[in-house]
Amino acid sequence: MDLKLKGKVAVLTGGSVGIGLAVAEAMAVEGVDLVLAARQKDRLEEVAQEIARAHDVKVVPVACDVRTQEGVDALVDATELAFGGADILFNNAGTGSNETIMEAPDDKWQFYWDLHVMAAVRLARGLVPGMKQRGGGVILHNASICAVQPLGYEPIYNVTKAALMMFSKNLANELIRDNIRVNTINPGLILTPDWIKTAKQLTAESGGDWEGHLASVAREHAPIGRFASAEELADFIVFLCSDRASYSVGATYFVDGGMLKTV
């Protein structure tokens, strides 16, 4: 299926590892030029070079922290300089948390609010004017199944991802008149390096069977009985960012192997 993405420009945050990297590679296969944002400059530049060589697309790495206005400004400026704007924005930067509400300090709440919500707000303000000039575009927010079905050990993550989902819906209603489609993706269990790192830490003193640990997590939470690969999720994301999903506006899509317990 021709996704009609060749020649488009996509901005991806959290683009050097895990879901962001998988989406970057999947978009490059379709001929999309990329602006990749992440904090670790060396890894980001290496990834950008590899994708550009493998798929004959232009890839611009921007080492920045999108939690801050300065980081967002750097990303928007780099996009304008390299391509004159963007057609696609995939808001992906994020990370899990671990705390209780009674003990978590204000600065931890602020950290996740800036990362999961304000980064999306600021990037929309920065990139949407250019999308309008280009005739439209697509914004996709990577939230989480935890936005509607929380995990008890990460209340801050749950709350800020829920806020991101609501922001996405409001943004969709505001921008569709400008031919800019906004949607949300709520993944379930996706096998990212963070999951593997955590599993290795949790099993270090009990034999190191991190794969067995992850298998038990999948059996407990996902009827499909396994984690998804980042590449499986990326295929769906790239489709949502294409004209093949042209009637998809303000929606939230669960890619969770049946993990969601409600209808």
DSSP labels, 105-146: -HHHHHHHHIIIIIHHHHHHHHHHHHHHHTT-EEEEEE--GG
The answer to whether 184 and 173 are in contact (CB under 8 A) is no
Who's near 69: CB < 8 A, 6+ residues apart?
Answer: 122
Active site (annotated) includes residue 157:
yes
Q: Which amino acid is at 98?
A: N
Residue from 112, 153, 157, 253 carrying the catalytic annotation: 157
Distance from C-alpha of 256 to C-alpha of 48, rounded to nearest angstrom: 29
pLDDT at position 125 is 98
Distance from C-alpha of 143 to C-alpha of 188, rounded to nearest angstrom: 10
Domains and CATH numbers, the chain: 9-190+230-255 (3.40.50.720)
Tokens coding 1: 């299926």
pTM reported for the whole predicted model = 0.96
**Cα–Cα nearest to 157, from 115, 193, 211:** 115
Positions in the chain short of pLDDT 70? none
Q: What DSSP string runs through 34-66? A: EEEEES-HHHHHHHHHHHHHHHT--EEEEE--T
pLDDT at position 33 is 98
The answer to whether 164 and 143 are in contact (CB under 8 A) is yes
Element (H, E) at 102: none
Distance from C-alpha of 64 to C-alpha of 58, rounded to nearest angstrom: 19
Task: Give the start-end residues of each E strand in the chain.
Answer: 9-13, 33-38, 59-63, 88-91, 137-142, 180-187, 190-191, 228-229, 252-255
